[in-house]
Chains A and B, each alone.
Chain A
Amino acid sequence: MKIGDYLEIPETKKVILIKLTHADLLKIWKRCGLTANYGASYLISSCPEKKDVMNSVSMILNELLENAAKYSDEEMGSIELTITLSGDSAILQVDNIIDEQRYMIFRKFADKITNCEDVNSLYIEKLQSFGENDGMKSGIGLLTVLSFFNPKMGFMFQPLKEANKYKVSVQAAMPIEGATTCR
């Protein structure tokens, strides 16, 4: 099931594909940031004059990877990071596997944020709720990405043959002005 602006990416178009496991990310948390920085640097190396967007690309990748590390299924923890250049956009995608409970929550959340007319208000409401609630997991990563960078977001949920497991792909398409001229 697709939600939002999800694009099918042909294998040949992928700039980079990195396979990770959620256990390794949870063991050494800074691996999320290291991988995000690497992905962003690798992408932007083809268009060095766009260096100013590297920080934003790394911010988005890091939030997608942190979510995958936190919410992946305990038994099936494989994570894939894919970066593609398509037209004037960099498509940043993270795939991971989630259980039924997480699937129900996440599908609802994906519906909500892709159909929301005012993401900033939703984000501010969530920030204000932290004043009253000291939850350990902020659950605010995707809202932060949408509010700050306004990428086109797309989600794909696919049931796996294993009972109650779903593969989820989260895509953020980030416009990079003049990207078509990148090498």
Chain B
Amino acid sequence: MQIKGEDYSIVFDDKLNTVNFNGSLRLENMGEYNAIEQFLLDVHELNLPFLNLDFKEVEFLNSSGIAMLCRFIMDVKKQNKMPVIVTGNDDILWQKKSFANLKLLWDKVEVKFGRAQ
């Protein structure tokens, strides 16, 4: 399962239960993010032991994209089906700020940080 845009790719690795985000996501509005949100919801529909969203290779996500990610987290919080891990890049300030907020939206989100390869 994957979605590719001009400047980004989003690929689900079913061996690691991880959605790998890559590139720069600066789409025009939340409507344009609907396809990505639906992709994440489709992955979440699979009966996984956990879901990891890995943003280490993402340079930019605009405010509409951050809002989409928050909406997804609030949606899966309601379902409470599996633990969600968000892996960020320790070198990128917006990721540190943004992913700390995800924990405020749902305290069961686990936030980890690493570095891009």
A contact residues vs B (CB 8 Å cutoff): 29-30, 32-33, 52, 55-56, 58-59, 62-63, 66, 70, 123-124, 127-128, 130-131, 134-138, 140-141, 143-145, 147-149
Nearest CB of B to A58, in Å: 7
Selected contact of B60 from candidates A59, A128, A149, CB within 8 Å: A59
Task: Tell whether A148 pairs with B6 under 8 Å between CB atoms, given A55-B59, A58-B60, A138-B64.
Answer: no
Chain A's nearest CB lies how many Å from the CB of B77? 9
A56 and B93 form a contact (CB under 8 A): yes
- A29 closest partner in B (C-beta): B28
Task: Tell me if B26 and A62 are in contact (CB < 8 A).
Answer: yes
| B window 81-114: CB within 8 A of A | 91-94, 97-98, 101, 104-105
Taking a contact as CB atoms under 8 Å apart, the answer to whether A62 and B60 are in contact is yes
Name the A residues within 8 Å of B104 (CB-CB): 124
Indicate whether B13 reaches chain A with its CB closer than 8 angstroms: no
Task: Name the contact of B67 in the complex, choosing from A58, A59, A127, A149 (C-beta under 8 A).
Answer: A127
Question: Hey, which bits of chain B sit against chain A, CB under 8 A?
Answer: 6-7, 24, 26-31, 59-60, 62-64, 66-67, 70-71, 74-75, 91-94, 97-98, 101, 104-105
CA distance A168 to B26 in the complex (A): 24
**Known contacts A29-B27, A29-B28: does B62 contact A127 (CB below 8 Å)?**
no
Tell me the complex Cα distance, A136–B60, Å: 20
Distance between Cα atoms of A144 and B60 in the complex (Å): 13
Q: Say yes or no: B63 contacts A138, CB within 8 Å.
A: yes
Give the residue among B71, B74, B91 with the most A Cβ atoms within 10 A.
Answer: B71
Please state if B29 and A137 are interface contacts (CB–CB under 8 Å). yes
Interface contact A59-B94, CB-CB below 8 Å: yes
Cβ-defined contact, B67 with A66, below 8 A: no
CB–CB B105/A136 < 8 A: no
- Chain B residue nearest to A123 in the complex (CB): B101
Contact (Cβ within 8 A) B26 A55 = no
Minimum CB distance partner of B5 in chain A: A30
Give the complex CA separation of A94 and B93 in angstroms. Answer: 22
| Residues of B with C-beta under 8 A to A62 | 26, 60, 62
Q: A136 near B31 (CB under 8 angstroms)? A: yes
* The 6 nearest A-B residue pairs measured at CB: A131-B74, A144-B63, A148-B97, A138-B67, A136-B31, A141-B63
Cα A131 to Cα B29 in complex, Å, equals 16
CB-CB under 8 A from A147, the residues of chain B are 97, 101
Taken together as a complex, chains A and B put the C-alpha atoms of A30 and B8 apart, in Å, by: 12
User: Given the interface contacts A52-B91, A124-B104, does A144 sit within 8 Å of B66 by beta carbon?
Assistant: yes
* Residue of A52, A123, A130 ringed by the most chain B CB atoms within 10 A: A130
Contact A136:B27 (CB < 8 A) given known A124-B101, A144-B66? no
